[in-house]
Structure 1
Amino acid sequence: MAKGDFAFPMAPERALALGEIHARPYALVKSGRVIFQLAFMMDGGSAVHHAAISELSRARGVAPPEKNGRYHALPWGQGTLRWERHTEFSTWFWDGPLPEKFGGEVPVHPFGDGFTAPGPLISGIRLELRPEGPETVEARGVFDPASLCYSELKNGQAAVLTDFRQDGHGLTHILVVDRGMTEAGRGAVVQRLLDIETYRTMAMLGLPLAQTLSPEMRRIEDGLTAVTQRMKAHARDESDEMLSELTRLAAELEANAALSLYRFGASRAYDGIVRERIKTLDETPVPGHETLGAFLERRLAPAMRTCQSIEERQANLSRKLSRATALVRSWIDVELERQNSDLLTAMNSRAEMQLRLQQTVEGLSVAAISYYVVGLVGYAVKAVPHDVLPFDPAIITGLSVPLSVLGVWWVVRRIRRSHERDG
């Protein structure tokens, strides 16, 4: 291949897009391991979580992750500590050697007294991967029979048991019975189970918010019903008060919708991930026990439907408030148009009165000015000697009257037309 072949400029986001495919590889997990995974909310921002893993890395003599890094791993004891940053939380994964009994004490792990949590704990998991034997049979008695989930995976190569309950440390216990899986197969199963527990917890965060918003929604619905009943009674004289009430209800609804928009959307996304992970597990039911998928479908699905119901109620109520507001505004607009019409009629009447008054004043002005003009003519004629004038001064004064009136009228008319053109 000649030098320079395929040496094309790369798109700025190409490396990021290609790297995302390999961003979360399954860890190769050996048989006979105990795994802890903790998930902490990033309420204080991702910088706090980055600082925590960076401090641990430096203490172990390992280079810290990059500032925008999303994944980091470092050796810890007889296992590996893996940190991953997500949108709302970060996960801390560590695997180590199994204790003698299921649920037994693990003396060395990263999450002891020297570990400082970077945020509130949202999910904690203890997963034990054990080869099938007497210990796994004995471990079944540790779980709560009322909520025990037991199913086989990968065509019988593994079995999983959990009751989704938390121990005194807040950890959910999961037992995976290994019947000959490969390291990659173990890693895939472990990652899917960890994702199911973590994301089902995150998905459930929408339920408390939905339960909090439900009475608020009911109150807004009752308020809308009261306003529409007043509208039904044709209380148009109360349009301003009704519009104010509808605006207040709409503002409260939009505030609640803005508060829940992200949370409900995130819950839907997390629920989708849980369903996808359950599907890829491809569980085979063990007679007499529920599968993880069936158990979560009965518990998680109603919570998601509650969140969806609140979202739908918000959308429907928003449309109803918009229609009611539009109707009240139409009443107010009609009233404003009527008032404007009355105002225009009154203005027209005043304009007509002003026109008549103006015409009257103009007539009086013509008479008054003509009177003074005739008077001036009379004074001028009287000042001329009688032997010079061929006529009697009284006759000349009398003849000047129609001429003065006509001249003054013509001048006033010219002035008025000039003003009309300028206006």
Structure 2
Amino acid sequence: MGPATEHPLRYALVNELHARPSPRFKAPATAVFVAFKELHDAANRDRSLDMAHLSELTNRHGGPRPDPEEHHYQGRVGRHDLKWESHTEFVTYMATNPGLPIRPFDPSAASIFSEEWQANAPGKRVAAVMVQIDLLPEDPAEVMARIGDWFARESLTVVWVLEGAALIAGDFRIDADGWMRFAVFVRPDTGEGRIGRIVHRLLELETYRAMSMLGLGRARSLSRLLNELDPRLSAIVDAMTDDNQPADKLLHELLAVSGELEAQAVQHSFRFGANTAYEAIVMDRIEALREERFLDRQMLTEFMRRRYQPAMRTVKSAEARLKTMLERATRAGELLRTRVDVERSAQNQSLLERMDRRADLQLRLQHTVEGLSVVAISYYAVGLLGYALYPLAHRSGIDKAYLIAGLTPLVVLFAWWGMRRVKRGLHSSHDRADL
């Protein structure tokens, strides 16, 4: 089959499946990991700055130059194997080196990520993890002796993973040098690829935990704002039952509250959506490790249930509360608009009734004016006809008074008949104009 039969994205989409292979480790080894995120609008950041920061690191340590068009990088940088990935909101760097430092979790193991270089990052550090991979001692008591000196007992988590292929220990605390520390003890027969997947899932677990908990601060600030808006919205709803409260004023106040709620929904929609996705990834990575209890120690699921899930429930509660208040504001707005429409309909009905009364009054006045007009026209007409016919009446011996008396009914009747004709003509012209 020729190229014409292939979808233009087929190869690119298949290659994407293999773009980020898990690293390979041979115990003992040390892995250091950092993640950087822009403080604001990280999803729309200038990604060329991320590439420039990566290039600065590879140039400083003599590594291969990255491809500006790629979203991932792997290469030998100095004495470290470097893996870089660009994600929607953040970028991650992982440097691995064979062997362990002389002192457990010595900050010198992370010398590739110098403080100067980290300070120049286009964003702030959201995760910094150091992982030590060592062979599993035969005596479990020796493991407990080691990790007892490295981690805080009250938050210590120790579990078997992948059917006992490795033992993971950590306390999810940040040490004095700013690193979160994990120890991974593997059995001698555990393959390099499997060790790499364990470490990779552990690093993803911590990274997405940190990213998902960014929403906790947003949720708390949002809850404070909702605490201020809730009484205002409740007061508006209560005032809707009071007929003495003008609906237009209430609707104006409701629009102000609704505007603030909509603005908060727009500002927080991406963060809350991302939090849901990140939380799902955290729980998926824990499930993928297939943990089992080690002695009587705390498991990852237990730690997350007690320490992590309450934070996520707080975020979800704030999101649900914002959604509920938006729905309440919408329903209140519909009721207020209905009330305003009813009041305006009543006002319009009253206005129509006043117009009808005014029209009726005008009609009566018009009839009165018509009667007066007939009298006035008749009066002048009789006077003119009296002057015109008086000579004839004098020759005929008819008294002027009798002449006036005889003309008056005839003139009045003729004036009335003429006014009726004029009125009918005006009405006929108006009806034809309407048609």
Bin of the TM-score, shorter chain as denominator length? 0.7 to 0.9
Q: Does the C-alpha gap of structure 1 residues 374 and 195 become closer, same or farther in structure 2, counting only changes over 3 Å?
A: same
Matches within 5 A, 1:4-19: 5=1, 7-19=3-15
Q: Comparing 134-143 with 393-402, which one deviates more in the overlay?
A: 393-402
Out of 73, 95, 99, which is 2:101 matched to? Answer: 99
Contact 1:199–1:270 (CA under 8 A) maintained in structure 2: yes
Q: CA deviation at 1:314?
A: 2.0
One-letter identity of the residue aligned with 2:66: P
Contact 1:41–1:121 (CA under 8 A) maintained in structure 2: yes
Out of 156, 159, 162, which is 1:148 matched to? Answer: 156
Contact 2:63–2:77 (CA under 8 A) maintained in structure 1: no
Out of 106, 122, 125, which is 1:121 matched to? Answer: 125
One-letter identity of the residue aligned with 2:220: Q
Is the aligned partner of 1:342 residue 2:350?
yes
Matched residues in 2 for 1:392 and 1:58: separation? 136
SS at match of 1:155: coil
Q: CA deviation at 1:400?
A: 7.0
Contact 1:77–1:109 (CA under 8 A) maintained in structure 2: no
SS at match of 1:156: coil
State the partner residue of 2:216: 207
Is the aligned partner of 1:414 residue 2:425?
yes
Matched residues in 1 for 2:25 and 2:391: separation? 135
Q: CA deviation at 1:353?
A: 1.5
State the partner residue of 1:27: 23
Q: Comparing 316-325 with 290-299, which one deviates more in the overlay?
A: 316-325
Matched residues in 2 for 1:415 and 1:95: separation? 102
Q: Does the C-alpha gap of structure 1 residues 417 and 359 become closer, same or farther in structure 2, counting only changes over 3 Å?
A: farther
Q: CA deviation at 1:259?
A: 2.6
Q: Does the C-alpha gap of structure 1 residues 195 and 345 become closer, same or farther in structure 2, counting only changes over 3 Å?
A: same
Q: Comparing 327-336 with 149-158, which one deviates more in the overlay?
A: 327-336
Contact 2:73–2:83 (CA under 8 A) maintained in structure 1: yes
Matches within 5 A, 1:212-291: 212-231=221-240, 234-291=242-299
Q: Comparing 103-112 with 137-146, which one deviates more in the overlay?
A: 103-112
Matches within 5 A, 1:284-323: 284-323=292-331
* Higher relative helix content: 2
Matched residues in 1 for 2:307 and 2:287: separation? 17
Q: CA deviation at 1:89?
A: 0.8
- TM-score (norm. length: structure 1): 0.86
Q: CA deviation at 1:382?
A: 7.9
Out of 110, 113, 118, which is 1:111 matched to? Answer: 113
Contact 2:158–2:298 (CA under 8 A) maintained in structure 1: yes
Out of 311, 323, 335, which is 1:327 matched to? Answer: 335
Contact 1:199–1:271 (CA under 8 A) maintained in structure 2: yes
One-letter identity of the residue aligned with 1:25: P
Matched residues in 1 for 2:414 and 2:107: separation? 128
Q: CA deviation at 1:225?
A: 3.4
Contact 1:54–1:65 (CA under 8 A) maintained in structure 2: no
Q: Which runs of 5+ in 1 are unaligned?
A: none
Q: Does the C-alpha gap of structure 1 residues 371 and 190 become closer, same or farther in structure 2, counting only changes over 3 Å?
A: same
- TM-score (norm. length: structure 2): 0.84
State the partner residue of 1:188: 197
Instruction: Give the paired residue count.
Output: 415
Matches within 5 A, 1:166-177: 166-177=174-185
Q: CA deviation at 1:231?
A: 4.4
Percent pairwise identity: 35
SS at match of 1:106: helix
Q: Which runs of 5+ in 2 are unaligned?
A: none
